Amino acid sequence: MALLDRINGPADVKALAPEQLAPLAQEVRDFLIDAVSRTGGHLGPNLGVVELTIAIHRVFDSPRDAVIFDTGHQSYVHKLLTGRHDFSALRAKGGLSGYPSRAESEHDIVENSHASTSLSWAHGVAKGRAIAGGKTRHTVAVIGDGALTGGMAWEALNNIAAEKQLPLVLIVNDNERSYAPTIGGLAEHLATLRTTQGYESFLEWGKTTLRRTPVVGMPMERALHGIKKGIKDVVAPQGLFEDLGLKYIGPVDGHDPLALEAALTRAKNFGGPVIVHVITQKGRGYEPARQDEADQFHAVGVINSETGLPFEIAGRSWTDEFSDEMVALGAERPDLVAVTAAMMIPVGLGDFAKHYPGRIIDVGIAEQHAVTMASGLAYAGLHPVVAVYATFLNRAFDQVLMDAALHRAGMTIVLDRAGITGPDGASHHGMWDMAICGAVPGLRLAAPRDGAAIRTALREAVEVSDAPTVIRFPKGSVAAPLTSLRQEGSLDVMADHTDGGDIEQLIVAVGSMVPTAITVADKLAAEGRRVLVVDSRWVIPVAPDLVTLCARASRVAVIEDGLEVGGIGSQLSTALRANDIDVPVRTFGVPRAFLDHASRGQVLEVIGLTPDTVANALI
């Protein structure tokens, strides 16, 4: 019987003999490569934390001890060791989540989180238990070196350092990468730690030397203090953490089971906050994930497990269209600079970086800093394009509002993965962006319907120098070109079933929902309705031409893949009331709810954003 088959919880992990740990780690890696290649998911991060996760469950007592994973995409090993072996529907409807999930297990604490939050969670859990009298229960946070670039992590460290008695173990999983190689001063500091002999070993050398050859006329304690002072800055760059008052252990080989257990046991017994610095290899044990293009194995689709290659090429993506146009604009405009938050390749800035290496800025996992820094770039006379996933704009709302918009910064924010994204679940749907942006004075937002519209919108956006602009588009293959029938002012007429008569039903289509709107119009026309479909492209603020057109319609429907509450439909209703236009507006969008993981099509069906559902509601 395979070792992994016998693991149904942490007690089974603890019961293993030391010589069984390496075989278990190999079985876990074999399982992950086979399972994730069939379903898609986060492969590289999980292959790197196999021994570390095993050691955590041997030293600590989950769920009595809380184990918190930053971001959570590296929790597959944790799922296996806590009895969840059915990965056949990973990230699919009804299957395991790709992140920790309280609905799945008592061993999961933090759900689909964004990065850099684990230390704040850990501080809160540990502090809360201490107040409630549970000081003997440990709290363990696993944070990657990439996530440690986020400002929230350092806010947490600042507070944790003052908690001298809290039983907190903070594991820095240092693999030199987030999506891509970790950058910045912290990355350089950790690199120094990786290549520097430990401070404690030098200290032991000092003690031994003093015992053998005492310093004449100087007490041992004073002499030892001098040695500490003299060598600390030279051989102990962990002083960055220790100067905060945090005990540091490491660096530890993250693939040595016994070394990991020894380090974690020391940390557990310390009695206060401890940082354990663990060196791991992302993609460990799978050659395709260790090669030059390893970043693509952070998250994969369905692949051939032997070669690492995808079975299907999906064709051009929305991201590809943005990427190509950025390169073209870069040649025309030397003032154009690109900014990203540790996701250069996923958001399509890799080619821009190759063509214009001096005009690309990766700030690490720090969306707040990215937006405010870009505001500074705009003040300096450049036009920055900040490219992030739509879900991560949530983190920088204050900066968009108070730093970019208030200061009328000429900058463009490009939101990839907008709307319903699917398998990554509640935290990764890009469904809040239009509601958020709708509250920002002066901001303009475009929702392109196809690749050509992305290119046009980007060119229009970078011409705006007195306000922030936003362009949003979804995940996946780009829509087929959708040519408008004609222009009505600034509006593109996409379908017209009015025969030149009155508009019984006006449908306002937003971005990727244009094809849905056209199909809805066809269905309504088949029922004898006079229907007109328009795409305004720039949806925030509401175009005056759209307000005028609505006044000619008997009814208006808005179809959008953002929140119904505060979305484009709400914006349009407000604009009509402000112009004393009494036309009923019905919005079809995303409900105010956290949506479970499933395919994009399945989620759209659940929330009623399909042609049949919308058409039936309008008949």
Q: In the β-sheet with 168-174, what is the strand arrangement from edge to edge?
A: 66-69, 139-144, 168-174, 274-279, 247-253
For residues 535-547, one letter each, b for 16 or more C-beta atoms within 10 angstroms of the residue's C-beta and e for the rest, the string is bbbbbbebbeebb
DSSP string, 129-179: HHHTT-TTS-EEEEEETTGGGSHHHHHHHHHHTT-TT--EEEEEEE-SBSS
Element containing residue 362 per DSSP (H, E): strand 360-362
According to DSSP, the residues that pair with 563 across neighbouring strands are 590
Length of the chain: 619
Pull the structure tokens for residue 606.
Answer: 């659940």
Residues making up the binding site: 73, 113-115, 145-147, 175, 286, 367
Instruction: State the catalytic residue, choosing from 282, 284, 472, 530.
Output: 282
Instruction: State the catalytic residue, choosing from 359, 395, 449, 600.
Output: 395
Chain position carrying tokens 């509450």: 565
Active site residue 488: no
> Which class for 160: exposed (0-12), middle (13-18), buried (19 or more C-beta within 10 A)?
buried
400: CB partners within 8 A, 6+ apart: 371, 393, 413, 436, 437, 440, 443, 468
How far is the CA of 479 from the CAs of 325, 474, 520, 599, 600, in angstroms?
Answer: 17, 10, 17, 17, 14
* Residue 39 CA to its chain's centroid (Å): 20
Q: Whose CA is closest to 476, among 609, 312, 288?
A: 312
Contact 131, 346 (CB under 8 A): no
Contact 286, 46 (CB under 8 A): no
Contact 138, 271 (CB under 8 A): no
CA atoms within 13 A on the CB side of 323: 18
384: CB partners within 8 A, 6+ apart: 337, 338, 339, 374, 377, 378, 411, 412
Which amino acid does the sequence have at 329? Answer: L
Instruction: State the catalytic residue, choosing from 51, 176, 261, 367.
Output: 367
Active site residue 137: no
Helices (H), 40-117: 44-48, 50-59, 76-81
Residues making up the binding site for Mg(2+): 145, 175
How far is the CA of 297 from the CAs of 37, 48, 66, 176, 416, in angstroms?
Answer: 10, 12, 29, 15, 19
Note every long-range contact of 234-241, with CB atoms under 8 Å and residues 24 or more positions apart, other chains counting.
235/196, 235/197, 235/198, 235/199, 235/202, 236/196, 236/198, 236/199, 236/202, 237/189, 237/192, 237/193, 237/196, 238/193, 238/199, 238/275, 238/277, 239/199, 240/189, 241/157, 241/275
Active site residue 282: yes
Q: How far apart are CA 22 and CA 265, in angstroms?
A: 19
According to DSSP, the residues that pair with 279 across neighbouring strands are 174, 253
Q: Whose CA is closest to 161, among 272, 238, 244?
A: 244
Cis peptide before 611 (omega within 30 of 0): no
Catalytic amino acids? Answer: 282, 367, 395
